[in-house]
Structure 1
Amino acid sequence: MTLKNLSLAFLSIVFFSQLHAQSSKVRPIGAMKDMGNTYDIHIWLDTLSNKKHLYGMGPYDKMKGEITVVDGHPYYASAFTEGAYQVGESWDIKSPFFVYGSVDQWKMFKIEGVFNSVGDIQQKVEQIAQEYGLDSNQAFPFRVTGNFDDLTAHIVTPRLPEVDGYREGVKSQKFSFKDTKGELIGFYSKNHQGIFTHTDSFVHIHFLMKDKTFMGHLDQITTAQKTFKLYLPKR
């Protein structure tokens, strides 16, 4: 092989390595703290160029519900009627803020719960990620699968009278489930409070039921001692 060909091969390796690093990077669009009372749209999900192995989350449209993208499948949930919810799947949805990243390979860890709060999950993710060697100063997605004893999740509802589904004085609906199987999809970051995590947390977590009939933002969780599977992006 000539020196020129070796140089081209080296540049190709560098290019594709950088491309892969960029594709797996967590990207926020818009910010939770900047929504104000107008909830201006900042992203139309159908415009995302690389949807394969995509993970992401944010509010659905102008607070019409929740969005969770799981391995390239875009789910959206709404709760316009008291005590009821609906889940659909489509790329033709928009959001005032959204966080996303592509992960094509995961590293699985078996973890022992008792989880009595979202904070317990954050602590376990921090611990395992540090032991695994992930840079805790960089945002990353994670997943937890298993059978959850008791959890509560909410779906936001419209706050503007001109938005379909608006009900005066109702900003969200909470739904509770017992002994349910599913997946927690989350994003961890120490540097994005007020962007895609609340100001008192380093995680933003959604719950997707195993049969895909419910999806919402995780509020509370209680589990007895049992084994769960934690997935972190493979290094």
Structure 2
Amino acid sequence: MQKIFIILIVAHLLSCSPSEEKESYWLKYARGRDIMLQEQDFSARADLDSLKNIKGLMALGPIEDLKGEITIFDGTVYTGTIENDQAVYRKDSVVKAVFLAYGSADVYSAVQVEESLKGLKKIEDFIRKKAIENGLDHEKSFPFYMEAQVEDLDYHIMFKEGEGMHGHQAHQKAKRKFKLNNANVKIVGVWANSQEDGIYTHNGSRIHLHFINEETLASGHIDDVQLLVGSKLFLPQN
């Protein structure tokens, strides 16, 4: 644990120039999604205990050994995993991450969702448009979150079993899939610049979304979702 703590903190310090430290928002990563899959190494790269003092921390990623999902909203850790073939959700879990996208912002600006948004592509386009309107550089990666009313939300919890190569087919098989309907959720998201999709996100996408439902503690990686009118997007403020 101490070694992971030192590696993560040193990497964070080295990646911050003096000018970056003065920024009002930032997004960083411990390892990257594409590197994890290329190297077939699913050991821990981030000890969440080492990040607990970061104010307003937002983060997402899979649990070490691909045994679940991690979502951090404003410093509170939520996890989803599989036990006895059932989804199990916890709050304030002590876990480690295979990779982690993590960041914070001093202040967020609220943007109303004025028409229903169905599908990740429409949500990505909406975020891009509103980021530009709010003076954000969409070629700079950033964290964001949403307070959302959802009609349908499809999600998965990654749960790898067995040994051997973990290729595309095995990766898809390891996704335990679930659905949430007509619920209020908080969505933790990251926006990747054009050079960092595949690191923070799936290749070809600029967003990566996890959610939490505070009533049930349900959480996981969003595969598809429909946001209803009245939802709010919170973007970092310059």
Is the Cα–Cα contact under 8 Å of residues 54 and 70 in structure 1 kept in the other structure? yes
| Worse-superposed segment, 103-112 or 197-206 | 103-112
User: Given the two structures, how large is their TM-score scaled by the length of structure 2?
Assistant: 0.81
Equivalent positions of 1:91-106 (< 5 A) are 92-106=94-108
Q: Which moved more, 1:204-213 or 1:175-184?
A: 204-213
State the percentage of identical aligned residues.
Answer: 27
Q: What is the aligned partner in structure 1 of residue 198 from structure 2? A: 194
Q: Matched residues in 2 for 1:70 and 1:87: separation?
A: 15
Per mean C-alpha deviation after superposition, the further-off stretch among 183-192 and 89-98 is 89-98
How far 1:91 sits from its partner (Å)? 5.9
* SS of residue matched to 2:114: strand
CA contact (8 A) 1:45 1:91 kept: no
Letter in 1 for 2:175: S
Residues 213, 89 of structure 1: alpha-carbon distance in 2 compared, 3 angstrom cutoff:
closer
Count of residue pairs brought into register by the alignment:
213
The answer for the alignment partner of 1:47 in structure 2 is: 50
SS of the aligned residue for 1:78 comes to strand
TM-score, normalising length from structure 1?
0.82
User: Structure 1 residues 43 and 178 mapped into 2: Cα distance closer, same or farther (>3 Å)?
Assistant: same
Q: CA deviation at 1:25?
A: 1.5
Aligned residue number for residue 180 of structure 2: 177
| Contact 2:78–2:212 (Cα < 8 Å) also in 1 | no
CA contact (8 A) 1:197 1:204 kept: yes
Please list the CA deviations of residues 79-134 of structure 1 after superposition, one character each: whole Å capped at 9, or x if unmatched: 2343x211223363111111111224211111223222111111100000000000
- Provide the rounded CA distance (Å) in 2 between the counterparts of 1:20 and 1:45: 24
**SS of equivalent residue, structure 2 residue 65:** coil
Structure 1 residue runs without a partner (length 5+)? 1-15, 163-168
* Higher deviation after alignment, 60-69 or 73-82: 73-82
Structure whose CA Rg is larger: 1
Structure 2: runs of 5 or more not aligned: 1-17, 165-171
CA contact (8 A) 1:46 1:91 kept: no
